[in-house]
């Protein structure tokens, strides 16, 4: 699938509160392309469109999730989710999870992944969140390079994180401090003195 027109591509990232049938179809195609290529989602084999459509419709219904979609020349080519802790988790109300972030292979190389993560971070900080956490399979080298270039700190590795094609792979865990807490250093958010 080619989404490019002559000249500089038009890129955008937006919060999705609803999906048109066309956008949902594009999102399902982009998701399957990312799954087949080996990165960016929890599935390791392609899914039928109906299952993916149900998944994304469900995401839009969950109050503590925000779905971000990335567009290249108007076509949805990727997404990410911001997952806030439930309201009864006051102790971790300052932190959220960045999950299911990916750009379809046919839309990579334009800086859209960076734009997607930046937009999630901006939204998180604007809503009072101070920490973003994420995890990624060790096999997703491009994603690891991106997150590390964007200032995410690896704090741990789980040696039996996932099973992919009959093989156990490790997973890396990251965090990023979004901005200093009011009146105290950023380090105080993670217990450093």
pLDDT digits (tens, 9 = 90+) for 151-163: 999 999 999 999 9
> Rounded to two decimals, what is the model's pTM?
0.89
Torsion sign across C-alpha atoms 141, 146, 149, 151? negative
pLDDT band at 7 (very low <50, low <70, confident <90, very high): confident
- What is the tens place of the pLDDT at every residue in 83-141? 999 989 999 999 999 999 999 999 999 999 999 999 999 999 999 999 999 999 999 99
CA distances from 173 to 66, 141, 144, 159, 170 (A): 21, 14, 10, 11, 10
- Pairwise pLDDT comparison (183 vs 172), residue with the higher score: 172
């Amino acid at each position: 699938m080619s989404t490019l027109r002559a000249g500089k591509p038009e890129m955008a990232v937006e919060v999705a509160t609803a999906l048109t049938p066309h956008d949902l179809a594009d999102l399902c195609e982009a998701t399957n392309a990312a799954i087949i290529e080996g990165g960016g989602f929890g599935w390791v084999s392609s899914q039928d469109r109906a299952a993916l459509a149900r998944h994304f419709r469900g995401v839009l219904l969950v109050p503590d999730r925000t779905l971000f979609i990335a567009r290249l020349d108007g076509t949805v080519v990727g997404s990410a989710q911001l997952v806030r802790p439930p309201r009864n988790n006051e102790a971790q109300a300052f932190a959220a999870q960045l999950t299911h972030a990916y750009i379809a292979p046919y839309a990579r190389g334009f800086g859209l992944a960076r734009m997607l993560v930046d937009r999630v971070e901006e939204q998180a900080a604007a809503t009072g969140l101070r920490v973003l956490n994420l995890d990624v399979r060790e096999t997703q080298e491009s994603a690891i390079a991106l997150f590390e270039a964007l200032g995410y700190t690896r704090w741990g590795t789980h040696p039996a994180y996932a099973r992919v094609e009959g093989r156990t792979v490790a997973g890396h865990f990251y965090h990023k401090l979004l901005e200093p807490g009011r009146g105290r250093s950023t380090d105080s958010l993670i217990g450093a003195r």
